[in-house]
Amino acid sequence: MIGSVMMRVSVVLLLIGMVAGMAMGIQQNFTLAPAHAHLNLVGGVLLFLFGLYYRLVPAAGNSTLARIQGSLHILGGLVLPAGIALTLLNNGAYFAAPAIGSAIVVVATLLFAVVLFRTERT
């Protein structure tokens, strides 16, 4: 089920984000701090919470919309921090990358809202 996939991916992303945070601290170079923050929060925390909801509420987690939502959130959770890092490392160039990443995350969150409202109403 998509909830389990989301939770498993989220802990992997969280571990990568934490190791990246340690690397920033060791090198005393905080250029990529916003990428680290978004990887941990969108790819780690939010992805885990949404996945947990799907696990706890199978009526929501077994829906096709939940599968689309979860897949989209995983994609956005990767593209957004990667895009932020790309822009930060290139003096603001490649701005389309974080813009696309954030659009994916917004659409995914909108879909989550639809799943949530639908499920909680029934």
Residues lying near ligand HEM in the complex (CB under 6 A) are found at 18, 21-22, 24-25, 30, 33-34, 36-37, 40-41, 44-45
Q: Please say which residue, 40 or 119, places its beta carbon nearer to ligand HEM.
A: 40
What residue type is 28 in one-letter code? Q
Q: What is the dihedral of CA 75, 81, 82, 83, to 10 degrees?
A: 100
Q: Please say which residue, 37 or 82, places its beta carbon nearer to ligand HEM.
A: 37
CA-based nearest residue to 98, from 76, 110, 83, 112: 83
Q: Please say which residue, 21 or 116, places its beta carbon nearer to ligand HEM.
A: 21
Largest distance between two CA atoms of the chain: 52
Q: How far is the CB of 16 from ligand HEM (least distance, A)?
A: 11
